[in-house]
Amino acid sequence: MRKKIVAGNWKMNLNLQEGVALANELKDALAAEKPNCDVIICTPFIHLATVAGITEGTVIGLGAENCADKEKGAYTGEVSAAQVKSTGAQYVILGHSERRAYYGETAEILKEKVNLALANGLKVIFCIGEVLEEREANKQNEVVGAQLADSLFDLTEEQLSNVILAYEPVWAIGTGKTATAEQAQDMHAFIRGCIAGNFGEKAAEEISILYGGSCKPSNAKEIFSKPDVDGGLIGGAALKCADFKGIIDAWN
Ligand code: PGA
Protein backbone atom coordinates (compact mmCIF):
# COMPACT_ATOMS: atom_id res chain seq x y z
CA MET A 1 0.00 0.00 0.00
CA ARG A 2 1.43 3.38 -0.94
CA LYS A 3 1.55 6.13 1.65
CA LYS A 4 -1.07 8.82 2.06
CA ILE A 5 0.71 12.09 2.79
CA VAL A 6 -0.10 15.68 3.61
CA ALA A 7 3.00 17.89 3.39
CA GLY A 8 3.24 21.60 4.15
CA ASN A 9 5.51 23.98 2.28
CA TRP A 10 6.00 27.11 4.38
CA LYS A 11 7.96 28.86 1.59
CA MET A 12 9.59 32.16 2.70
CA ASN A 13 7.04 32.80 5.44
CA LEU A 14 7.19 32.91 9.26
CA ASN A 15 10.12 34.08 11.35
CA LEU A 16 11.74 31.58 13.70
CA GLN A 17 9.44 32.34 16.63
CA GLU A 18 6.32 32.11 14.46
CA GLY A 19 7.53 28.84 12.95
CA VAL A 20 8.22 27.34 16.36
CA ALA A 21 4.76 28.37 17.55
CA LEU A 22 3.11 26.79 14.49
CA ALA A 23 5.10 23.55 14.85
CA ASN A 24 4.13 23.31 18.52
CA GLU A 25 0.48 23.97 17.74
CA LEU A 26 0.47 21.26 15.08
CA LYS A 27 2.26 18.82 17.38
CA ASP A 28 -0.40 19.32 20.05
CA ALA A 29 -3.26 19.04 17.55
CA LEU A 30 -1.91 15.77 16.14
CA ALA A 31 -1.13 14.35 19.59
CA ALA A 32 -4.77 14.95 20.53
CA GLU A 33 -6.05 13.32 17.34
CA LYS A 34 -3.83 10.87 15.49
CA PRO A 35 -3.69 11.57 11.75
CA ASN A 36 -4.77 8.98 9.22
CA CYS A 37 -1.86 9.86 6.90
CA ASP A 38 1.80 10.80 7.05
CA VAL A 39 2.30 14.47 7.91
CA ILE A 40 5.39 16.45 6.86
CA ILE A 41 6.27 20.11 7.28
CA CYS A 42 8.89 21.70 5.03
CA THR A 43 10.35 24.85 6.46
CA PRO A 44 12.98 27.48 5.66
CA PHE A 45 16.52 26.31 6.50
CA ILE A 46 16.75 28.56 9.55
CA HIS A 47 13.84 26.76 11.23
CA LEU A 48 15.03 23.21 10.70
CA ALA A 49 17.26 22.51 13.69
CA THR A 50 14.85 24.08 16.18
CA VAL A 51 11.72 22.55 14.67
CA ALA A 52 13.48 19.14 14.59
CA GLY A 53 13.55 19.31 18.39
CA ILE A 54 9.78 19.78 18.38
CA THR A 55 8.87 17.13 15.79
CA GLU A 56 11.27 14.45 17.05
CA GLY A 57 9.37 11.46 18.41
CA THR A 58 6.08 12.75 16.98
CA VAL A 59 4.18 11.71 13.85
CA ILE A 60 5.39 14.86 12.07
CA GLY A 61 8.15 14.52 9.48
CA LEU A 62 10.40 17.48 8.72
CA GLY A 63 11.87 18.69 5.46
CA ALA A 64 13.73 21.54 3.80
CA GLU A 65 12.42 23.43 0.77
CA ASN A 66 15.61 23.17 -1.26
CA CYS A 67 19.25 22.10 -1.06
CA ALA A 68 22.41 22.83 -3.02
CA ASP A 69 23.48 21.13 -6.23
CA LYS A 70 27.04 20.88 -4.89
CA GLU A 71 28.32 18.54 -2.21
CA LYS A 72 30.29 21.03 -0.05
CA GLY A 73 32.81 23.83 -0.12
CA ALA A 74 33.08 27.43 -1.27
CA TYR A 75 29.46 28.12 -2.28
CA THR A 76 28.58 31.11 -0.13
CA GLY A 77 24.97 31.14 1.02
CA GLU A 78 24.14 27.62 -0.12
CA VAL A 79 22.99 24.75 2.13
CA SER A 80 24.02 21.21 1.26
CA ALA A 81 21.95 18.05 1.49
CA ALA A 82 24.33 16.78 4.21
CA GLN A 83 23.76 19.97 6.20
CA VAL A 84 19.97 19.60 5.86
CA LYS A 85 20.24 15.99 7.03
CA SER A 86 22.37 17.00 10.03
CA THR A 87 19.53 19.18 11.40
CA GLY A 88 17.36 16.10 11.87
CA ALA A 89 15.26 16.73 8.75
CA GLN A 90 14.29 13.67 6.70
CA TYR A 91 12.89 15.26 3.53
CA VAL A 92 13.66 17.93 0.96
CA ILE A 93 11.41 19.53 -1.65
CA LEU A 94 13.15 19.77 -5.02
CA GLY A 95 12.01 21.13 -8.35
CA HIS A 96 9.34 23.46 -7.00
CA SER A 97 8.06 25.66 -9.83
CA GLU A 98 9.12 28.79 -7.93
CA ARG A 99 12.72 27.49 -7.87
CA ARG A 100 12.53 26.57 -11.55
CA ALA A 101 11.03 29.92 -12.58
CA TYR A 102 12.79 32.44 -10.29
CA TYR A 103 16.14 30.76 -9.64
CA GLY A 104 16.80 29.16 -12.99
CA GLU A 105 16.79 25.56 -11.77
CA THR A 106 17.10 23.38 -14.83
CA ALA A 107 16.46 19.67 -15.18
CA GLU A 108 20.24 19.08 -15.04
CA ILE A 109 20.66 21.07 -11.81
CA LEU A 110 17.70 19.23 -10.31
CA LYS A 111 19.21 15.90 -11.25
CA GLU A 112 22.32 16.82 -9.25
CA LYS A 113 20.22 17.93 -6.30
CA VAL A 114 18.12 14.76 -6.34
CA ASN A 115 21.24 12.58 -6.42
CA LEU A 116 22.90 14.46 -3.56
CA ALA A 117 19.73 14.46 -1.45
CA LEU A 118 19.25 10.70 -1.88
CA ALA A 119 22.95 10.00 -1.31
CA ASN A 120 22.70 11.85 1.99
CA GLY A 121 19.70 9.87 3.18
CA LEU A 122 17.00 12.45 2.52
CA LYS A 123 13.69 11.56 0.92
CA VAL A 124 12.85 13.83 -1.99
CA ILE A 125 9.50 15.49 -2.64
CA PHE A 126 9.94 16.20 -6.35
CA CYS A 127 7.62 18.78 -7.92
CA ILE A 128 6.42 18.82 -11.51
CA GLY A 129 3.73 20.79 -13.30
CA GLU A 130 2.84 22.84 -16.33
CA VAL A 131 2.25 26.59 -16.67
CA LEU A 132 -1.06 28.01 -17.88
CA GLU A 133 -0.03 28.49 -21.52
CA GLU A 134 1.09 24.86 -21.67
CA ARG A 135 -2.25 23.70 -20.24
CA GLU A 136 -4.14 25.92 -22.69
CA ALA A 137 -2.14 24.41 -25.57
CA ASN A 138 -2.95 20.94 -24.18
CA LYS A 139 0.77 20.27 -23.68
CA GLN A 140 0.60 19.40 -19.99
CA ASN A 141 1.39 15.71 -20.44
CA GLU A 142 4.35 16.42 -22.68
CA VAL A 143 5.76 18.98 -20.21
CA VAL A 144 5.30 16.85 -17.10
CA GLY A 145 6.56 13.72 -18.86
CA ALA A 146 9.75 15.56 -19.82
CA GLN A 147 10.24 16.94 -16.30
CA LEU A 148 10.06 13.39 -14.93
CA ALA A 149 12.31 11.90 -17.60
CA ASP A 150 14.95 14.64 -17.51
CA SER A 151 15.56 14.61 -13.75
CA LEU A 152 14.47 11.20 -12.44
CA PHE A 153 14.65 8.48 -15.06
CA ASP A 154 18.32 7.66 -14.44
CA LEU A 155 17.59 6.73 -10.83
CA THR A 156 17.53 3.12 -9.75
CA GLU A 157 14.25 1.61 -8.55
CA GLU A 158 15.76 1.57 -5.06
CA GLN A 159 16.51 5.31 -5.26
CA LEU A 160 13.04 6.01 -6.62
CA SER A 161 11.52 4.35 -3.55
CA ASN A 162 12.74 7.41 -1.62
CA VAL A 163 11.02 9.86 -3.94
CA ILE A 164 7.53 11.31 -3.50
CA LEU A 165 6.08 13.16 -6.49
CA ALA A 166 4.04 16.34 -6.25
CA TYR A 167 2.00 17.42 -9.26
CA GLU A 168 1.54 21.16 -8.96
CA PRO A 169 -0.02 22.89 -11.95
CA VAL A 170 1.71 26.28 -11.81
CA TRP A 171 -1.55 28.09 -12.63
CA ALA A 172 -3.08 26.69 -9.43
CA ILE A 173 -0.28 27.66 -7.02
CA GLY A 174 -1.25 30.49 -4.70
CA THR A 175 -3.96 31.60 -7.12
CA GLY A 176 -7.01 30.22 -5.37
CA LYS A 177 -7.73 28.37 -8.63
CA THR A 178 -7.52 24.63 -7.97
CA ALA A 179 -7.35 21.97 -10.63
CA THR A 180 -10.57 20.00 -10.69
CA ALA A 181 -10.41 16.59 -9.06
CA GLU A 182 -10.76 15.13 -12.57
CA GLN A 183 -7.84 17.17 -13.93
CA ALA A 184 -5.73 16.05 -10.99
CA GLN A 185 -6.72 12.40 -11.45
CA ASP A 186 -6.02 12.48 -15.20
CA MET A 187 -2.54 13.89 -14.66
CA HIS A 188 -1.74 11.61 -11.71
CA ALA A 189 -2.74 8.57 -13.77
CA PHE A 190 -0.53 9.82 -16.61
CA ILE A 191 2.40 10.32 -14.18
CA ARG A 192 1.93 6.84 -12.73
CA GLY A 193 1.95 5.49 -16.28
CA CYS A 194 5.27 7.27 -16.98
CA ILE A 195 6.77 5.75 -13.84
CA ALA A 196 5.48 2.30 -14.86
CA GLY A 197 7.00 2.73 -18.32
CA ASN A 198 10.46 3.49 -16.97
CA PHE A 199 10.61 1.65 -13.63
CA GLY A 200 7.91 -1.00 -13.90
CA GLU A 201 4.44 -1.56 -12.46
CA LYS A 202 5.57 -2.23 -8.89
CA ALA A 203 7.43 1.09 -8.60
CA ALA A 204 4.45 2.90 -10.14
CA GLU A 205 2.03 1.26 -7.73
CA GLU A 206 4.19 2.18 -4.72
CA ILE A 207 5.11 5.80 -5.42
CA SER A 208 3.00 8.47 -3.70
CA ILE A 209 1.82 11.28 -5.96
CA LEU A 210 0.62 14.42 -4.17
CA TYR A 211 -1.48 17.22 -5.62
CA GLY A 212 -0.49 20.83 -4.91
CA GLY A 213 -2.03 24.16 -5.81
CA SER A 214 -4.60 26.05 -3.72
CA CYS A 215 -5.51 22.93 -1.77
CA LYS A 216 -7.70 23.83 1.23
CA PRO A 217 -9.88 22.05 3.80
CA SER A 218 -12.93 22.69 1.58
CA ASN A 219 -11.56 20.96 -1.53
CA ALA A 220 -9.05 18.43 -0.15
CA LYS A 221 -11.53 15.61 0.42
CA GLU A 222 -12.77 15.61 -3.16
CA ILE A 223 -9.27 15.77 -4.66
CA PHE A 224 -7.90 13.08 -2.29
CA SER A 225 -10.83 10.80 -3.13
CA LYS A 226 -9.35 10.17 -6.60
CA PRO A 227 -7.58 6.82 -6.93
CA ASP A 228 -4.21 8.18 -8.08
CA VAL A 229 -4.08 11.15 -5.69
CA ASP A 230 -2.18 10.14 -2.55
CA GLY A 231 -2.34 13.44 -0.70
CA GLY A 232 -1.32 17.06 -1.01
CA LEU A 233 1.56 19.53 -0.94
CA ILE A 234 0.14 22.56 0.79
CA GLY A 235 1.44 26.13 0.64
CA GLY A 236 -0.80 28.92 1.97
CA ALA A 237 -3.08 26.62 3.96
CA ALA A 238 -0.07 25.11 5.78
CA LEU A 239 0.58 28.40 7.56
CA LYS A 240 -2.43 28.08 9.87
CA CYS A 241 -2.71 25.03 12.08
CA ALA A 242 -6.50 24.80 11.75
CA ASP A 243 -6.36 24.88 7.93
CA PHE A 244 -3.51 22.36 7.69
CA LYS A 245 -5.24 20.08 10.19
CA GLY A 246 -8.46 20.47 8.18
CA ILE A 247 -6.63 19.11 5.13
CA ILE A 248 -5.06 16.27 7.14
CA ASP A 249 -8.57 15.40 8.33
CA ALA A 250 -9.68 14.96 4.71
CA TRP A 251 -8.13 11.48 5.07
CA ASN A 252 -10.44 10.57 7.96
P1 PGA B 1 -0.47 26.84 -2.47
O2 PGA B 1 1.02 26.37 -2.77
O3 PGA B 1 -1.11 25.75 -1.65
O4 PGA B 1 -0.33 28.12 -1.70
O5 PGA B 1 -1.15 27.03 -3.79
C6 PGA B 1 1.34 25.04 -3.03
C7 PGA B 1 2.82 24.90 -3.30
O8 PGA B 1 3.39 25.75 -3.99
O9 PGA B 1 3.47 23.93 -2.83
Q: What is the mean pLDDT of each run of 10 residues along the chain (252 residues)?
A: 96 98 98 98 98 98 98 98 98 98 98 98 98 96 98 98 98 90 98 98 98 96 98 98 98 97
- For ligand 1, the distance from its centroid to the CA atom of residue 73, given in whole angstroms, is 32
Q: Kindly list the protein residues whose Cβ atom lies closer than 6 A to any atom of ligand 1.
A: 9, 168, 173-174, 212-215, 233-237
Whether 96 sits among the annotated catalytic residues: the reply is: yes
- For ligand 1, the distance from its centroid to the CA atom of residue 76, given in whole angstroms, is 28
Res 57: pLDDT = 97
- The model's pLDDT over 114-137, given as tens digits with 9 standing for 90+, comes to 999 999 999 999 999 999 999 999
Res 40: pLDDT = 99
Res 99: pLDDT = 98
Q: CA-CA distance, 243 to 245, in Å (whole number)?
A: 5
Whether 201 sits among the annotated catalytic residues: the reply is: no
Residue nearest to atom 3 of ligand 1 (CA): 235
Res 159: pLDDT = 98
Whether the predicted model's global pTM rises above the 0.75 cut: yes
Task: Please state the atom number of ligand 1 nearest to the C-alpha of residue 174.
Answer: 5
Torsions phi, psi for 122 (to 5 deg):
-95, 150
* The one catalytic residue among 47, 96, 105, 188: 96
* The one catalytic residue among 65, 98, 105, 168: 168
Res 178: pLDDT = 87
Burial of 74 (0-12, 13-18, 19+ CB in 10 A): exposed
Task: Please state the atom number of ligand 1 nearest to the C-alpha of residue 233.
Answer: 9
Determine if residue 213 is left, alpha or beta; phi over 0 gives left, psi from -120 to 50 gives alpha, anything else beta: left
Task: Please state the atom number of ligand 1 nearest to the C-alpha of residue 9.
Answer: 9
Res 177: pLDDT = 85
Res 6: pLDDT = 99
Q: Cα–Cα–Cα angle for 212, 140, 250, nearest 5°?
A: 25
Residue nearest to atom 6 of ligand 1 (CA): 235
**249 touches 217 (CB < 8 A):** yes
Res 109: pLDDT = 98
Torsion sign across C-alpha atoms 129, 140, 219, 203: negative
